């Protein structure tokens, strides 16, 4: 059993619901007030982290609201006391000096509870409509590698001199540095070869998109084999959760979400047309139907309370330390998860019960996949 502490996070609703955009039980609301309410409730329930996705315009409904990640994260940092605030960032949108300064400010507002999630942009239109360049996939990662190498040094309080293909920086130091630790934690998303190399060199936590346990185990093993300096790398997993008293109830609700998601078919088609086909996340998601973003229900966290807890314990045993979760309807499902799953996971991890007899789940159990009648 993995000995690291298990943590649970929740995706902030910065651009509306994650599974179906036209759900009458989850009206679209990407407002500051709604995000504040969700994150404060998550903290009160015992969740450890929240992830604030970064988009300048809503990637699904361009005329609908989109919370700004970094000003929103600063506000959340000031209002919360315990939960970690993780803000996503696309390097192409921010000069590393400016971003590092913002990160240090939120780090000190939060008293050492801030993390930044480095992501490789996928939405061409977000850049094209602003007249900004959108390089090829591997070129974006090369840019991000140079970018984060500067940011990390500035976060540590170093004086930076840098001459590179994208940035020329002379004698730059940022103060105050973190008043609470060496620097904020750095999360890295993406599963392509450049992403794996980047996280091995510069990340603290690799955020893996939701997928079955054998695939996640293979990804972790690959990155663990890579040379690395400093502390060991930790791993996180994104997943959409449907937990009910019975397995049938869970899968009935999954079918309900699929039916709702069918109403979004035209919206999703536009999104796919704007997506860089080389982004591995979308290649992985195309392998099987699922609801939710960033892998969604492909992680198999759909079932009765015991099954979901045991599957989480199995992922934890494989090396997952942080579970970044999605729910719909968000508030009610967060409360159910905290009440029913938190204690079961603690019991499973403590007793090594991830694969106990009668759990009803194995790595090849087809009940962890999505019913064939579903649509993406």
Tens-digit pLDDT profile for residues 156-185: 999 999 999 999 999 999 999 999 999 999
Q: Is the pLDDT assigned to residue 361 strictly greater than 50? A: no
Asked if pLDDT for residue 48 goes beyond 90, the answer is yes
pLDDT digits (tens, 9 = 90+) for 216-243: 999 999 999 999 988 899 999 999 999 9
For residue 343, give both structure tokens: 């204690």
The DSSP annotation for 348-369 comes to HHHHT-TT-TT----TT-GGGS
Find the mean pLDDT for residues 195-213.
Answer: 96
Pairing, β 168-172 against β 160-163: antiparallel
Q: Is 102 helix (H, G, I), strand (E, B) or coil?
A: helix
Whether residue 272 is predicted with pLDDT greater than 80 in this model: the reply is no
Q: CB within 8 A of 213, min separation 6: which ones?
A: 300, 311, 314, 315, 318, 363
By C-alpha distance, which of 293, 267, 266 is closest to 282? 293
- What one-character DSSP code corresponds to residue 340? I
Which pLDDT score is estimated for 138?
92
- Considering Cα of 222, then 228, then 230, then 236, what sign does the dihedral take? negative
- Burial label, 366 (beta-carbon count in 10 A; 0-12, 13-18, 19+): exposed
The CA-atom distances, in angstroms, between 202 and each of 153, 230, 315 are: 11, 10, 24
Instruction: Look over the chain and give the mean of its residue pLDDT values, rounded to a whole number.
Output: 89
Mean pLDDT of 116-122: 91
Give, in degrees to the nearest 5, the angle at Cα 327 between 221 and 205: 30
H/E stretch holding 172: strand 168-172
pLDDT of residue 160: 98
Question: Tokens 């938190």, residue?
Answer: 342
Q: What is the mean pLDDT of residues 1-26?
A: 87
Over range 95-101, report the average pLDDT.
Answer: 98
What pLDDT does residue 279 have? 65
Phi then psi for 176, rounded to 5 degrees?
A: -75, 145
The whole-number average pLDDT for the span 198-218 is 96
Supply the pLDDT for residue 289: 81
Q: Which of the four pLDDT bands, split at 50, 70 and 90, describes residue 286?
A: low
Does residue 281 register a pLDDT over 70? no
The band of 295, judged by pLDDT with boundaries at 50, 70 and 90, is very high
pLDDT at 373: 29
Distance CA 120, CA 190 (A): 7
Structure confidence at residue 276 (pLDDT): 63
Assign 2 a pLDDT band (cuts: 50, 70, 90). Answer: very low
**Phi/psi of residue 218, each to 5°?**
-65, -40
Long-range contacts of the stretch 216-221 (C-beta < 8 A, 24+): 216/299, 216/315, 216/318, 216/320, 217/318, 217/319, 219/191, 220/318, 220/319, 220/320
pLDDT of residue 35: 98
pLDDT of residue 120: 87
| Proportion of the chain above pLDDT 70, given as a percent | 88
Which among 285, 238, 282 is positioned nearest to 137, based on CA atoms?
A: 282
Contact indicator for 166, 97 with CB cutoff of 8 Å: no
Q: Read off the pLDDT of each residue in 51-80 and give the average, rounded to a whole number.
A: 94
C-beta of residue 14 within 8 angstroms of C-beta of residue 75? no
pLDDT in the model for residue 268: 76
In the chain, what percentage of residues exceed pLDDT 90? 77
- Residue 339 DSSP label: I
pLDDT of residue 91: 96
| Residues 6+ away with beta carbon under 8 Å from 235 | 205, 206, 208, 220, 319, 320, 321, 322
Q: Using the predicted structure, report yes or no on whether residue 359 has a pLDDT greater than 50.
A: no
Mean pLDDT for 31-41 is 98
pLDDT of residue 351: 79
- Evaluate if residue 355 carries a pLDDT over 50: no
pLDDT band at 59 (very low <50, low <70, confident <90, very high): confident
Q: Is the dihedral of CA 351, 357, 359, 364 positive or negative?
A: positive
Confidence at residue 347, expressed as pLDDT on a 0 to 100 scale: 87
In the predicted structure, residue 374 carries a pLDDT above the cut 50: no
The predicted model gives 238-264 an average pLDDT of 96
| Confidence grade of residue 368 (pLDDT, cut at 50, 70, 90) | very low
Q: Average the pLDDT over 316-343 and give the result.
A: 98
């Amino acid at each position: 059993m993995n000995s690291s502490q298990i943590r649970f996070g929740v995706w902030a609703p910065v651009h509306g619901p994650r599974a179906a955009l036209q759900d009458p039980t989850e009206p679209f609301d990407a407002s500051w007030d709604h995000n504040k309410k969700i994150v404060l409730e998550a903290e009160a329930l015992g969740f450890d982290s929240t992830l604030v996705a970064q988009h300048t315009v809503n990637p699904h409904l361009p005329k609908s609201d989109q919370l700004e990640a970094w000003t929103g994260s600063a506000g959340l940092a000031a209002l919360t006391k315990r939960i970690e605030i993780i803000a996503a960032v696309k390097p192409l949108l921010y000069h590393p000096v400016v971003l590092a300064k913002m990160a240090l400010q939120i780090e000190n507002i939060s008293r050492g509870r801030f993390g930044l999630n480095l992501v490789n942009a996928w939405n061409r239109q977000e850049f094209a409509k602003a007249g900004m360049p959108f390089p090829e996939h591997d070129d974006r990662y090369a840019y991000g590698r140079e970018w984060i190498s500067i940011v990390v040094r500035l976060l540590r309080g170093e004086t930076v001199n840098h001459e590179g293909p994208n940035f020329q920086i002379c004698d730059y130091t940022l103060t105050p540095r973190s008043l609470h630790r060496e620097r904020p934690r750095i999360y890295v998303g993406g599963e392509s070869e450049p992403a794996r190399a980047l996280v091995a060199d510069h990340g603290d936590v690799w955020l893996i998109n939701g997928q079955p346990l054998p695939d996640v185990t293979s990804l972790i093993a690959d990155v663990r084999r890579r040379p690395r300096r400093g502390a060991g790398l930790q791993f996180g997993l994104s997943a959409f959760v449907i937990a009910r008293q019975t397995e049938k109830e869970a899968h009935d609700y999954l079918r309900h979400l699929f039916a709702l998601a069918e109403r979004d078919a035209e919206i999703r088609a536009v999104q796919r047309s704007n997506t860089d086909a080389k982004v591995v996340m979308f290649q992985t998601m195309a392998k099987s139907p699922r609801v939710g973003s960033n892998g969604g229900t492909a992680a198999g966290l759909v079932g009765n309370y015991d099954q979901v807890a045991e599957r989480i314990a199995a992922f934890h045993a494989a090396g997952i330390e942080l579970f970044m979760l999605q729910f719909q309807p968000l508030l009610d499902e967060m409360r159910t998860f905290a009440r029913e799953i938190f204690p079961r996971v603690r019991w499973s991890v403590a007793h090594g019960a991830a694969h106990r007899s009668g759990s009803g789940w194995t790595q090849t159990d087809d009940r962890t996949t999505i019913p064939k009648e579903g649509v993406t």
